[in-house]
Chain A
Amino acid sequence: MKRNNRNKSKKYQQYEAIYTPESSLRHPVRLFKQMWLDLLSSRELAWRLLVRDISAQYRQSFLGIIWAFLPPIVMAAGFTLANQAKVINIGETDLPYPAYVMFSTALWQTFVEAINGPVKAVTVAKPMLARVNFPREALIVAKLGEVFFNFAIKLILIIALFIWFQVSITWTVILAPVALINLIFLGTFIGVLLSPLGVLYQDVSKGLTLITSFWLFLTPVVYPVPTEGVFGNLVKLNPVTPLLVTTRELATTGTISEPVGFWVVSIITIVGLFITWVGFRLAMPFVVERVSS
């Protein structure tokens, strides 16, 4: 019996955890090795958390997945009406306008979810963080999973939409997920960057709501990419623009209008995500220290 036990916990016994006041950055090899191990060991936990969060979310809801469809539909209905009544003046879009708004809104929403996900996950898990030392990566990975899950549901709407408006697609649609993943990673990058601060200061989550609603207007979601003026430049500088536009173009027309912008933002996103991951790991003990158990 005893022997059995030892075998079971053997892989834990081999490890010795050492805690010192020194910054972990002073042993980068050890840190990266540890990060890799934690990412691997967080897979199952992330899956559990994902299943837990999604089932709790749908069990407490009467309308269930309809909530995933409603915002794009409402948004599209509103802007289509306004456009038809000439209240707002929107130029030509490469898709029928309602489809354009709905598809873009679904993408935008996914991006916003990706930003809010880590901040929310870490804030909600505060009591857990303060009491158990589990791989913190699991929280982020679980939220990423949730974002993908929610997008998968929205995909039903998008497919129905494409059939309804008879939007022609090209072979490039199979590349669209690559751009989509980059879009989600950009959101996650910002979210992970803010999440340690978000636990300490409520300003972060409040500010996020404000900023994302403003950001929406700088992103070609309800209008096509503007080409001139100060506004046009602002929209161009907006890092979300190339990612969102590329995703949309890959899924529909197949001609990418801003390949350079897309690659620049994508590379910044991937590198940034890795760096914030390191920062997130280093920051968490100090965050936990400041929240009561």
Chain B
Amino acid sequence: MTSLIETEINQQPEETDVVISVENVSKKFCRDLKRSLFYGIQDIATEVTGGKRKSDSLRKNEFWALNNVSFQLHRGEALGLVGSNGAGKSTILRIISGLIKPDTGTIKVKGRVAPLIALGAGFNPILSGRENIYANMSILGLSTAEIENRFEEVVAFAEIAEAIDAPVQTYSSGMAARLGFACAVHIEPDILLIDEVLAVGDVKFKMKCHRKLSELRKKGTAFILVTHNSHSILNICESSIYLKKGELLASGDTEKVIRKYEEDLCLSGKENALGRMVIPPKPKEKSNGLDIVSLCFKDEQNKTLDTLLTGEAAYLSVECKSYEDINNANLGMLVTALSGGEGLVLYLTSKGDNEELEIPVGKSEIRMYMPCCSMIPGVYSARIYIRSGVYSYDIVESFRFTVKTNITISRCQFYQPRKWQVISNQNETGMTNNYLI
């Protein structure tokens, strides 16, 4: 299973930076439990007799949970791992931590790995927090002396000083989770595998976790972060990989990888998230009287924009082809964010603005002017419809667009246009200093 080879770091200076190297790794699983257990016995028998497992071919009812995946992780680097459920994210983490053997390929891991998938492993609810800290950190690979050194720190971090001698079963779920997290991060690993655990505890504790993680990272700890939340990945990781059904679909720059992932998440993933969307023309019989021909954003010079810029003016341009005169058309746009939470960001309708649109027969363009785009950077999907009363002429289910920025948004939920100034009240002349951004 594990093979430790003593290698002096000094001997291979060019290799020291790589802490995890995954080469052509595959892993197969079986969906049928009974058969899976039987295969387990079969594998054990071959392993114990030293035979070859023929692990590169599938047996009946088996599938590739990971297929030919390769990547590397360097010291102090943070790697994001995205993919929908069942994409093989946890499997790769389990192989890296040496829990299961790969079926093909090689994995090399240098240094101590702390799996944050294992919060509170070995906790016994009967025992006190104190005893459990010793047991848990011992399982994670620390000696008693090392645990004693860190004990106070762990207790302080978990904020359970007053309950440290109470049995863990009397803890609230938040307290137990905090204790588990505190134990795991205080073993000061070389590699930290984080599997969707940053959702532990309240906001205050979450911030503390993030602070601790960035502290560890400064010390050179490498991370692999698995999450569905694109924001955390965008904030923490420079590079990412995207797994889909066990295959490595994209790797590299986080933004590109996330875009690819989110494109795939969205059903109409065929169109590009950039620029103009052209809807294939429908025959007249299928039309409801009006068809949307294309959608795009334009700037004030009437040039099509690839992306919106936060804080800049833009037009939404909806080109349509009408077979009748419509005098009370209502254009609606529902925008949802694809990166981050799945909330409705904007719900704009022309009717809500008391604008009745008159659309003549033939081709025309409906424009909505936005003096200042308030959306923060990210990928969005807009549902655009044209109605008259309850009668629906045409709907575009998903018009995907990207918002970028040249200004600092930091943690704002939307862009607030603003100007700064200082008005001095002591100066009788009433002079003001204006600062504009």
For residue A283, give the distance in angstroms from its CB to the closest CB of chain B. Answer: 4
Q: How far is the CA of A48 from the CA of B37 in the complex (A)?
A: 31
Q: Determine whether B289 belongs to the interface, using a CB cutoff of 8 Å to chain A.
A: no
| Bound-state Cα–Cα, A59 to B40, Å | 37
Q: Does B98 touch A at the CB level, under 8 Å?
A: yes
- Kindly identify, within residues 85 to 101 of chain B, every residue whose CB is under 8 Å from any CB belonging to chain A: 90, 94-95, 97-101
Query: With A9-B111, A44-B144, A134-B141 as given contacts, are A23 and B51 in contact (CB-CB < 8 Å)?
Result: yes
Of A13, A290, A293, which one neighbours B9 at CB under 8 angstroms? Answer: A13
Indicate if the CB atoms of B1 and A285 lie closer than 8 Å.
yes
- List chain A residues, Cβ under 8 A from B102: 19-21
**Chain B nearest Cβ from A235, distance in angstroms:** 32
Q: Which residues of A contact B143 (CB under 8 A)?
A: 44
Majority SS at the chain A contact face: helix
Within 1-39 of B, Cβ neighbours of A (below 8 Å) are at: 1-9, 29, 36-37, 39
Known: A9-B188, A25-B48, A44-B144. A282 touches B1 (CB 8 A): yes
Give Cα A19 to B106, complex, Å: 6
Are the C-beta atoms of A18 and B139 separated by less than 8 Å?
A: no
Interface: A89 (CB within 8 A): no
Q: Which residues of A contact B117 (CB under 8 A)?
A: 131, 293
Contacting A25 at CB < 8 Å: which of B5, B47, B112, B144?
B47
- A103 to B: closest C-beta gap in Å: 33
**Tally of chain B residues near chain A (CB < 8 A):** 69
| Complex contact B40–A23 (CB within 8 A) | no
A18 touches B106 (CB 8 A): yes
Say how far B350's CB is from chain A's closest CB, in angstroms.
52
Q: Report B-chain residues with C-beta under 8 Å of the C-beta of A131.
A: 99, 115, 117-118, 121
CB distance from A136 to the nearest CB of B (A): 9
B143-168 CB contacts (< 8 Å) to partner A:
143-144, 146
- Complex contact A14–B127 (CB within 8 A): no
In the complex, the answer to whether B1 meets A284 with C-beta atoms within 8 Å is: yes
User: Which residue from chain A places its CB closest to the CB of B117 in the assembled complex?
Assistant: A131
Q: Does B220 contact A (CB under 8 A)?
A: yes
Q: By the criterion CB–CB under 8 Å, are A25 and B135 in contact? A: no
Interface size class of A (residues with CB under 8 A): 35 or more
A24 / chain B contacts, CB cutoff of 8 Å = 1, 3, 47
- Min CB distance B326 to A, Å, is 58
Chain A residue at minimum C-beta to C-beta distance from B38: A200
Answer whether residue A168 sits at the interface, using C-beta atoms and an 8 A cutoff: no
Please give me the residue from chain B that is nearest to A26 by CB atom: B50
Cross-interface CB contact of A16 among B4, B55, B90, B118, cutoff 8 Å: B4
- Given A48-B134, A52-B135, A55-B131, CB of A27 within 8 Å of CB of B111: no
Contacts of B344 in A (CB 8 A): none
Cα of A46 to Cα of B337 in the assembled complex, Å? 50
Q: Closest CB-CB distance, B160 to chain A, in whole Å?
A: 18
A residues near B220, Cβ cutoff 8 Å: 2, 5
List chain B residues, Cβ under 8 A from A133.
Answer: 2, 97-99, 113, 115
Known: A56-B126, A131-B99. A9 touches B47 (CB 8 A): no
What is the chain B residue whose CB lies nearest that of A53?
A: B124
Of the candidates B8, B50, B95, B110, the one whose C-beta lies within 8 Å of that of A19 is B95
Interface string of A130-158 (1 = CB under 8 A from B): 11111000000000000000000000000
Closest 8 CB pairs of A and B: A131-B118, A25-B50, A48-B138, A290-B40, A133-B98, A12-B112, A19-B107, A289-B100
Query: What residues of chain A have their CB less than 8 Å away from a CB belonging to chain B?
Result: 1-2, 5, 8-9, 12-21, 23-27, 30-31, 33-34, 37, 44-45, 48-49, 51-52, 55-56, 59-60, 125, 127-134, 196-197, 200-201, 278-279, 281-290, 293
Known: A23-B51, A282-B44, A290-B40. 19 other contacts (CB 8 A): A2-B220, A9-B112, A15-B5, A16-B108, A16-B109, A19-B2, A19-B101, A19-B108, A20-B101, A33-B4, A37-B4, A48-B134, A49-B138, A56-B126, A56-B127, A59-B127, A128-B139, A133-B2, A283-B44
* Interchain Cβ contacts under 8 Å between A and B, 17 examples: A5-B220, A12-B111, A15-B6, A17-B109, A18-B109, A21-B53, A24-B1, A25-B47, A52-B127, A52-B135, A125-B122, A131-B117, A132-B139, A282-B44, A286-B40, A290-B36, A290-B39
